[in-house]
Amino acid sequence: MIEFKMDRRVFYGLLTVLGVGLALGLGLMLGKMMSGGEQAAAPVAPALSGADAGAAPEQAGIPLPVDDPAAAVDIIQGNGSTQSQQDPAQFQPPPQTIDYAALGINPDGELTPEQDATVSRILQTDAEAKLNDPNVIWVDVRSDVEFEQGHIPGSRNIVAYVQDDQFGTLPKDQEIILYCA
């Protein structure tokens, strides 16, 4: 009989390293499958029964692999009709709907020099004097969580770069003061 002794801390350390390695490996594998990598799981084929049991796979509605991944895939249905599917690699996301350049925002998310020159600044003392003015709309551009932690009473929360489309709903006949602190 061979007896092997190991310190408990060393044993737990080895188990930790093994667990982290397995978790990373599983995470990489799942990430590759979810992103449509080479190892992505194929869709489950329908069960074959009755007359379809002896049919060729393409006649039973089971897609066959395509040698050219850039080509569209035709799936032959059980009734002989075909259904065309676009290759996922050729999928194009919809174009961005917000035209930031029209708002005067450059690709880095900053105001262009022309737009920045048209924005008026306000001193804190002048802003404090307008706190109770009914013709002033206060807009907090921080996140929802930051807004809930504290904000100017009566202010609206429009999260910058996330809810930019809501800026167009603000009235044009009132002074608007944006703040983020």
Mean of pLDDT values over 8-15: 82
151/2: higher pLDDT: 151
In 35-165, alpha helices (H): 100-103, 113-118, 124-129, 144-149
- What CATH number labels 100-179? 3.40.250
The whole-model pTM stands at 0.39
Q: Are 122 and 177 in contact (CB under 8 A)?
A: yes
Which stretch of DSSP H or E encloses residue 172?
A: none
Domain boundaries, the chain: 1-39, 57-90, 100-179
Q: For 71-123, how does the pLDDT look when each residue is reduced to its tens digit (9 = 90+)?
A: 455 555 555 555 555 555 665 666 655 666 666 666 666 667 776 667 778 88
